[in-house]
A and B are shown apart, each in its own frame.
Chain A
Amino acid sequence: MMKKQLAMVIDSSSCIDCKACMTACKVENQVSAGNWRNWIKVQDADFAQSGRPEGADSMHFQPGNCMHCDNPTCVQACPTSATYKDEKDGTVKVNENLCIGCGSCIPACPYGARYRRPDKKIVDKCDFCEHRRQRGDLPACVTTCPTKARTFGDLNDPDSDVARLLKRNKTMRVINPESDTRPNIYYMSMTAPLNWPVKAEIPTPIQLWKFVNPLVWGFVGLNALGVLAMLGKQLLVKDEPPVSVHEEKKEDAHE
């Protein structure tokens, strides 16, 4: 059987910014005050042209959440692999039992999809409502959306709604050109805003680790070489101290 790649196709032109998805998610996933697992980005209207913005100049709403990327920079930043790409369904997951709450993944996400839970002090983000999917339900945001702007399903299943939408429509992904993480949220073309994803920033200590890693292993290796040299000498070379050494020393001591 082919592997799954769960994904969303979002028709942002259907979004009325009612924030039902955000509230539903907040309740379903018990997201703490001040934090969100999903969002609606707003592109303000441009009144400079006519005073009556139309078409691309008009206000635009763009729902989103963790993009469950194919090239997840958050996974690269996680020292314990608490954050990982699940090969079974293609989602990027957080194993909360393995997360030590170092927060390295938070700036590593170009979409700001991650936050540190203030209660458990571990990272949290959208998991496409895994517990709902286990019951056979859709993610809370998808279920509740009044205008059904969000469509959810398995990209690799040609009969899924998302696969069909992708096939029949021009779609695009919202990326930062410096950090193309190959997201799995597709937008119907002409979505806006586009300029908001930031460059993925892996924290200095984690970057430094990649640098010092060979140094540490090199240091250990050098010491190991020294030990090997001693061992080699011990096994291969007969090396008795000159007898006189002991004698001389004894005499010295008695003086």
Chain B
Amino acid sequence: MSSNINTPISRRNFLKWSGAATAATVVGTKTPVLHALVPSDKKADASNAEYHFSACDMCLNKCGLVARVENNVVTKLDPNQKFLKSRGMLCARGNAGIAQLYDPDRLKYPLLRKGKRGEGKWQRLSWDEALDYAAEQLKKIADEYTRCGVLFSPGSDMQSTFVHWFAEVFGSYNVTTHESACLLSRNRAYLDTFGEVPFSDVLHTKYIIMAGANRYEALITPDSIDLMSTRKNGTKLVVLDPRYTKTAALADEWYPVRPGTDMAFFLAIIHVIISEKLYDQAYAFEKLYGLEQLSEHVKQYSPEWAEGECEIPAKDITRIARELAAAAPAAIVYPGRRTSDYVNSTQIRRSMAILNALLGNWDRPGGLLAARQVGLSRVELPEAPFYEDNPDDRLDIGKAHMMFEEEGSFKHMRDAIIEAKPYPIKGWFVYKHNPLQSEANRQRTLEMMEKLDFILTVDIAMSDTAWMSDLVLPAPSYLERQDPASGLQGSSACACVVTRNPVVPALFESKPVFEILKELANRLELGEYFDFTLEEYRKQQLKNLPDAERALREDGVYYNPSKLYGVYEGRIYKTKSKKIELYNERYAEMGVDPMPVYKSPRKVPSGRFRMVVGRNAYFTHCTTQNNALLHELMPENSLWIHPKAAAGLGIKEGDLVEVSSAVGRGELKASLKDGIREDTVYMASGFGVLSKGLTNIYGKGACMAEILEDFSDELSGNMAMHETFVKVARKVA
């Protein structure tokens, strides 16, 4: 029995008509029955579709994609199979990009706050009114408090570079980015060991230890995908995590490490490798600095000692050390990304970096790779003006030993703004950044906002930060705008360039931040610094890559076949000793431990839990929870709690619980999980929102940022989000 799907007669149309007729009893309609018998060629057919290359912006990976457009509507986003960095894939978020573009919750036109902040009363403005107002406010603050009186938060998409540039020409040093809630402690540790932040050659390695990273849920290309490929080729994966994450589930070995003690584990591994001389001595002599000091230093850190700290059996530590050394140099202690966890995160990551150094994996297949040459040119822009009345430094200067000047530290910046010392900040320009959800201690961020006279947020939807702002400007999604070129590192996969052109015209009155900044610059008599188009800017970026424009047009990506391994042959390391620093002289000079010294983390008081945070594959930090397609995958967050701990508190699966810390509280449902330590609880980020403009998730779950206390890493000023102890109590429903 077979039947022809493509029948010329559409019974469906007939039904539709009869349905309408049933409902409305329309008299005198055309003869729809006859119409239904007419061949219908309205079916969406392939010849109707156009295909456009773009790069995803649902997270930071910028995966190459092909957008299918039918009748000016984006109907599907597919992976660009030629895009090697993501191995030709698109994740759930990438596929859900359509729901960001066509989100009914999108900001549609400029909004001016009426009533109190957060009250949700808005007045619609024309773009001219909005930009005039913004320029006037910025100028007022500049005149009264100097130009450094405006804080800039540029976000991290492909137009963020223009916000940085605007801050520079406007004259403010006060720029904080997402990074100080993320990976600064890792960057610090690797810069201070190798002189460079490396990429992991996951695909070619034979052994990976992953501590404080969850690569199968917090997707990073190509690492997440290569991790599966390399595992299929027999690579061993050892995961340290207080939670049984999906990465832990798919690993060879999982150790529910006591939170904050990873350094003990790694120092003990180093101890075994050094005491058993399992490292390449010739290599060590040539490349490493401070091996003697390190050998002496780690004598105290035996596996037996470490077991008492990290609760990983000594025999396993010894075995793992031997296995790791046997696999070296194609063995990696995975550097991780978000390392905003403990007050000594940089030192924890230093212990991991030092172990990598001992494995001799730097710049070698299956090891840690240096950045490859992409070849984008720096765009020549006029020299930014100098403002004499400006203070000498950014507001948060010197609050941490080894802070990154360009990134700053949101936590320290926030404290300084509240104290108004050494000088006041009164304005805030926010582009696609949402500290009210992403930075620990939400109350503190609100307190900071109270100190500000003018907050301007440019975003796609009404984030919590936009909700608490004075002026909100609508930005288009990545599928609607032209972007500069962006160079990407894909470890052994590629070094490549991507860019974006509009796939469909911008919806509503949304305006790219580049255009907004350009118009603001004109109004602030800074127009000469933005006297270029995106097209011109991109041309300059690509000027030394003659084949790039064609490749971007035809393949959606340009590859630079630059050197991958052995980049450091005949090159010195960008460290003080010009070698890989096991012992860091600069640290010693500053009075910082030159080698990681283990300090036991604060004990969890009885009746409390340590709260940890972490990603899943559906959400990018706190940005995609309201996306209709992703919302369906996880409608609200829940509190992971061990069944034994829950039983002690009379908590059952699905019960509403209150989680409270010294700074905040939240209510959410309990999820009883065997896969979490009894002394630890976990919740996903991005819920418990303030903004009623996020209609899918408003009123759902608890806010991570509200509950977390704002500890920070002593060295980098990075937020420390695993230092908070919380109380959990069952709420009587």
Contacts and interface: CB of A to CB of B under 8 A. Distances in A.
Interface string A128-153: 00110011010010011111100000
B435 to A, nearest CB: 27
Contact of B89 (A22, A52, A95, A145): A145
Contact of B2 (A54, A84, A97, A131): A84
Contacts of A130: 5
Contact of A81 (B3, B87, B617): B3
A172 interface: no
Interface stretch (B399-407, B422-430, B593-601, B628-636): B628-636
A16 interface: yes
A145 B253 CA distance: 25
Contacts of B93: 23
B728 interface: no
Residues of A contacting B: mostly: loop
Contacts of B79: 143-144
A41 interface: no
A88 B96 CA distance: 33
Contacts of B517: none
A206 interface: no
A190 interface: no
Given A16-B216, A95-B5, A146 B91 contact: yes
Residue from B95, B256, B632 having most chain A Cβ neighbours under 10 A? B95
A24 interface: yes
Contacts of A27: 75-77, 95-96, 98, 629
Contact of A59 (B229, B244, B255, B256): B244
Nearest to B244: A45
A20 B246 contact: no
Interface residues of A, number: 50
Contacts of A16: 216-217, 224, 228, 246, 250, 617
A92 B74 CA distance: 29
Interface string A77-89: 0000110111110
Interface in B370-426: none
A34 B632 CA distance: 8
A165 B628 CA distance: 37
Contacts of A13: 250
A45 B89 CA distance: 28
B2 A86 contact: yes
B628 A33 contact: yes
Interface string B649-674: 00000000000000000000000001
Given A23-B96, A33-B632, A144 B90 contact: yes
B729 to A, nearest CB: 25
A23 B633 contact: yes
Interface stretch (B7-15, B26-34, B186-194, B573-581): B7-15
Interface residues on chain B, size class: 35 or more
A61 B630 CA distance: 19
Contacts of B633: 19, 22-23
A6 B727 CA distance: 55
Contact of A144 (B11, B89, B255): B89
Nearest to A141: B95
A212 interface: no
A93 to B, nearest CB: 7
B225 interface: yes
Interface in B1-45: 1-3, 5, 7, 9-12, 44
A59 B92 contact: no
Contacts of B219: 18, 146
Contact of B5 (A52, A60, A87, A93): A93
A14 interface: yes
A20 B256 contact: no
Interface string B58-81: 000000000000000001111101
B92 A97 contact: no
B717 interface: no
B89 A146 contact: yes
B36 to A, nearest CB: 11
Interface string B261-292: 00000000000000000000000000000000
Interface in B290-331: none
B232 A14 contact: yes
A98 B2 CA distance: 12
Nearest to B216: A16
Interface in A84-131: 84-88, 93, 95-98, 120, 130-131
A148 to B, nearest CB: 8
Contacts of A18: 91-92, 216-217, 219, 617
Contacts of B83: none
Given A47-B674, A84-B2, A24 B95 contact: yes
A130 to B, nearest CB: 8
Contacts of A86: 2
Interface string A1-35: 00000000000011011111011101110000110
A54 B92 CA distance: 27
A134 B46 contact: yes
A131 B256 CA distance: 47
Contacts of A95: 3, 5
A19 B618 contact: yes
A61 B217 CA distance: 13
A116 to B, nearest CB: 15
Contacts of A33: 628, 632
B675 interface: yes
B620 to A, nearest CB: 13
Contacts of B446: none
B687 interface: no
A98 B3 contact: yes
Contact of A84 (B3, B76, B94, B675): B3
A52 B95 contact: no
A226 to B, nearest CB: 35
7 contacts: A17-B216, A17-B617, A18-B91, A23-B93, A98-B11, A140-B76, A146-B89
Given A19-B617, A24-B95, A45-B244, 4 more contacts: A23-B93, A26-B629, A146-B86, A146-B225
Q: Which are the 6 A-B pairs with shortest beta-carbon distances?
A: A47-B674, A59-B249, A146-B89, A23-B95, A18-B617, A16-B216
Interface of B: 1-3, 5, 7, 9-12, 44, 46, 75-79, 81, 86-87, 89-96, 98, 216-217, 219, 224-225, 228-229, 232, 244, 246, 249-250, 253-256, 617-618, 628-630, 632-633, 674-675
